[in-house]
Amino acid sequence: MKKSTITCDMEGRILTMNDGAEQVFGYPKEELIGKKRVSIFSPGEIVLQNVEGWLDEAVKKGEYIGKTYFIKKNKEKFNAKIRITPTFANGKDQPQTGYCGVTEVIDEEVNVPINFSTKLIKGLAITRMPFTSASILPILAVGAYFAGVGDDLFNITNFVLCIFGVLIAHLSVNVLNDYFDVKDGTDEENNDYFQQVSGGSRAIELGLITLSGTKKLGTILTLIALLIGGVVLMLTNSANTSSVLYIALAGLFLGYFYTAPPLRLVARRGLGELTIFLAFGPLITLGTAFAIFNGDLMTSEHLMNCLYIGIPMGLLTTNILLINEFPDMLSDIKTKKNHLVVTFGKKASRWIYLLILGLAIYTTLILANSIGNDLLLIPLALLVIYGGYIFSILYKKYETRELVGANWGTITLQALFCVGICITLLF
C-alpha cells in the first residue's frame, strides 16, 4: 500500500493529498481538499490529547515521528506510523504556513491511552462550558449590585441556585444548538470557521459524541435546569414568582428555537442577534433579580437598575455572535442561515459591530448615572479603549483569517467588562 501524504494549513484545513492518501483513508480528494480538516481522520480524544503536542514537537525539532491509529471513511480502524513536518510555502526564511503529514499503515497493534484529564476536556468541548461566562457573569453582577447597595436585600440560596440553574440551561442550549446545526447541514457546509471560536463545538464531527447522544444529553441537561428552576420558584418571594416563571420560560424558548425548527431564529435576519441580546442581557439580570430579591422587585427602585446592568452585557455578547458570523458567512448562505452578516455583507456589518459597541458604551453611562457610581467609568473606559482597538482590527481584517484576533478580543472584552462591572458594583 502506498504512503499517504497530506498537507494542511495552520488551522488543519487540508490543502493537498496524494493518491496514497485516497487509498489509505478511503476519501476521494474532492471530498476533503479545501473542505475538511485533518482532524477528521483521528478519534476525537486523540485529537484533544495528543495533536497539539505532536505539532509543537514538529515545529521545535523539525519533525515528529510516532505511532497512532486512524479511522477510515468506512469507520474501519487501522494502525499507522506518522511523520509530521512544518511547511513553509514562501520559503523557510518566511513564517510557517502549515504542516505535512506522512502516514504509513503498519501491522503492529497501537494503543493510545486516554488520560482522565482528556475525558474532562472532552466534556468541556462537547458542552462548550468555557463560554458559559456570558450567562454567569450577569448573574454575579446582579448579586454584586444588591450586595453593594444594602444589607439582606437578596436570598443567598436562590442566588447560588440561579448560578447553577442558568449554567445547566446554557450548557443544554449549547448542546442542542450543535445538534440542530449538524442536522440541518450548517456544520457540514462550514469549513471556514475559526477553531474554538466560531462554527460550534465540532464534537460530533470529531466523534466525541454521536448525533443521537447530543440530543439525549441536551434533553437531560434541560430537565435538570427545569428541576433547579422549580426549586428556585418555590423559594422565590411570592410577589416575584410569576415574573421569574415568565422570564425563565422566555429564556428557554429563545435558547431552544435559536437553531431549532420551525422558528430557527438564527436564520431570520436579525432575530438571532436580538435573541442573544435578550437571553444574555436583560432576561438574565431581571430574572435573577426577581428570583433573589427579598421584596417586591416590581415596585422597587432596583428594578430599572437591574435592567440597565443587563443591557450593555447583552449588547457585548451580541457582538461576539456578530463577529463570529464573519468567517461563517459563505457556508451560512448555503444553508439559508440569514443572520445580519449574511443580510448586509461583511463590509457593512463592521458598522453594525461599531453601533452595538457604541450602544454598550452609552447604556453603561446610563447605568453609572442611575446608580450614582463613578467607579463604573472604569469598565466604560475599557469599552472605549479596548473596544476601539478591536474594531480597528475588524475594520482592516474583516475579509482575512487575521480577523481571529478580533474574535478573541471581543470575547475577552465582554468578559473583562462584566468582571469590571461586578467589582465596581460592590463599592
pLDDT tens sequence across 138-157: 999 999 999 999 899 999 99
**Cα(113)–Cα(101) distance, rounded to whole angstroms?**
22
Section 385-395 average pLDDT: 98
Q: What is the pLDDT of residues 47-63, one digit of tens each?
A: 999 999 999 999 999 99
CATH number, domain of 257, equals 1.10.600
Place of cell 466560531: 198
Whether 368 shows a pLDDT value over 80: the answer reads yes
Whether 158 shows a pLDDT value over 90: the answer reads yes
Question: What pLDDT does 191 receive?
Answer: 77
Same domain, 144 and 224: yes
Question: What pLDDT does 305 receive?
Answer: 97
Quickly state the pLDDT bin for 420 (edges 50, 70, 90).
very high
Residue 8 lies in a domain: yes
Section 374-396 average pLDDT: 97
Structurally, how many domains does the chain consist of?
A: 2
Q: What is the pLDDT of residues 176-234, one digit of tens each?
A: 999 999 998 887 777 777 777 777 778 888 889 999 999 999 999 999 999 999 999 99
The average confidence (pLDDT) of the chain is 94
Same domain, 184 and 251: yes
Same domain, 85 and 151: no
Same domain, 247 and 281: yes
Residue 110 lies in a domain: no
Residue 193 near residue 328 (C-beta atoms within 8 A): yes
- Helices 133-149 and 404-425 pack at an angle, to 10 degrees, of 20
Same domain, 134 and 214: yes
Nearest to 32 by CA among 53, 54, 67, 4: 4
Same domain, 24 and 168: no
Same domain, 361 and 266: yes
Residue 283 lies in a domain: yes
Quote the Cα angle for 359-365-367, to 5°: 100
The one-character DSSP state at 107 is S
Residue 81's beta-bridge partner residues? 67, 104
Whether 364 shows a pLDDT value over 90: the answer reads yes
Section 342-346 average pLDDT: 96
Residue 154 lies in a domain: yes
Residue 112 lies in a domain: no
What percent of the chain has pLDDT above 90?
A: 89
Same domain, 68 and 151: no
What percent of the chain has pLDDT above 70?
A: 100
Same domain, 184 and 64: no
Sheet with 64-71: strands ordered across: 14-17, 4-9, 98-105, 77-87, 64-71
**Cα(61)–Cα(166) distance, rounded to whole angstroms?**
46
DSSP state string for 295-308: S-GGGSTHHHHHHH
CATH number, domain of 40, equals 3.30.450.20
Please, which residues have CB within 8 angstroms of residue 30's CB and are 6 or more apart in sequence? none
Question: What pLDDT does 1 receive?
Answer: 60
Whether 379 shows a pLDDT value over 70: the answer reads yes
Quickly state the pLDDT bin for 14 (edges 50, 70, 90).
very high
Residue 84 lies in a domain: yes
Quickly state the pLDDT bin for 28 (edges 50, 70, 90).
very high
Question: Residue type for 322, please?
Answer: L
Nearest to 65 by CA among 83, 47, 46: 83
Q: Which residue has the higher pLDDT, 2 or 178?
A: 178
Domain of residue 11 covers 4-105
Residue 123 lies in a domain: no
Same domain, 293 and 334: yes
Section 364-389 average pLDDT: 96
Residue 118 lies in a domain: no
Helical H segments across 84-210, by residue range: 116-127, 133-149, 156-183, 186-189
Same domain, 99 and 183: no
Same domain, 75 and 151: no
